[in-house]
Every structure is written in C-alpha cells, then in structure tokens.
Amino acid sequence: MAVKKRKAGWHWSQDVHRHFREIGIRQVAYVPDSGTARLIDLCSADRTMRSVVLTTEEEGVAQMAGAWLGGQRGVFLTQSGGVGNCINMLSIISECRIPLLAIVSMRGQWGETIPWQVPMGQGTEAALEAGGVLVQHVDEAEQVPATVEAAAKLAFDANRAVAVIVSQRISGTGGKG
C-alpha cells in the first residue's frame, strides 16, 4: 500500500477524522464494518461527534436528513452491500436536495474472494447513481483525505449527495467473510 511518504503508522482515517472536525461534522451514523473500523473508532472517541450505530443502513440516510434539518452536518459510513439497502431512502435526500456525505468501503471488487459479495459490489456504483448520488472513487490510501475533503465541499457547499467509494485495494479486506 502506498503510504511511504507518510509517517509509519499513518492511516488515512486520522486525516479524514481531523477534517470531519474542521468542517463541523456532528453526527456519524454507521453499521460496523472492518473497512471503516479505524475511522469509526476515531469518531466514537471524539466527544464533539455523536456516533450512532444502526441496525440497517437506510436508517442512516434518514438520520442524515434529520441532522441537516436540525442544523448539523453528518457523515454516513457504510459497506458497499449496505448501499443496496438505501436506494429508496435516498429519495428523501434527492427530493429535498439535502446534502449527504457518505463513505462507502467496497467489497466484491478488488481481490475479493467471497463470490457472494461480487453481485452487490459490482452494482454499488450504478445503484448509487440510480439513487441520485454523485460518486467519487479513491483507490490509494494517500488520496483518501483529499477525496473526502473534496466530496464534503460538494456535499455541504454545493448541496449535493456525494459518496466516496473507498476501494477494497485500500482496506485490503475480502479474505474471509
């Protein structure tokens, strides 16, 4: 993984979390997942943010709509499989043009070994686009912070629904289940 220029032990989650603080993210909704585990840990430990663990991903989309209605910024973290649960709920976001920042950690994509992950992984981007979400890809760990930063601008400043798709190449998951 291309993290040579960074200090040993550096992880993209640190910069992304710092950026969340800078732009005033106050609600973090997620279903636990290994691809975003470090970011979730950092956000959960941060008292300026309310971390909410969900039973299923569409709850998170609805919560993000409520957060923005209540005057706060939120971020929604999901695995690619969870995207398939959200398409209907995304119509709140699209119809009201509510800003949405989602970070999607991919399965069924780069080096996947579980066949059952592949159909949804291959359908993730098309499903997001069908749901009216702008998709931004990143497949190098070093590029994740800058991509999230740009996506956050698009979301909160340009009032768009944006998903950052974090490649399985970065998370390196996909070996077991």
Q: Which of residues 18, 69, 111, 158 is near other proteins by CB under 8 A?
A: 69
Residue 85 corresponds to which amino acid? N
Closest distance between other proteins and the C-beta of residue 5, in Å?
Answer: 27
d(CA 110, CA 169): 6
What lies within 8 Å, CB to CB, of 86 at 6+ separation is: 57, 58, 60, 61, 78, 131
Token pair for 34: 């290994």
Query: Are 94 and 161 a contacting pair, CB within 8 Å?
Result: yes
When asked if residue 174 is in the footprint of other proteins (CB under 8 A), the reply is no
Q: Pick one of 10, 48, 66, 158: the residue that binds other proteins (CB under 8 A).
A: 66
Shortest Å distance, C-beta 58 to other proteins: 7
Helix ranges (H only) for the chain are: 12-22, 37-44, 57-69, 80-86, 90-96, 118-130, 144-152, 168-171
Least distance in Å: CB of 80 to other proteins?
9
47 binds other proteins (CB under 8 A): no
Is 89 or 102 the residue whose CB approaches other proteins more closely?
89
Q: Which residues bind other proteins (CB under 8 A)?
A: 26-27, 31-34, 37, 40, 50, 52-56, 58-72, 74, 81-92, 94-98, 114-120, 123, 126-127, 129-132, 176-177
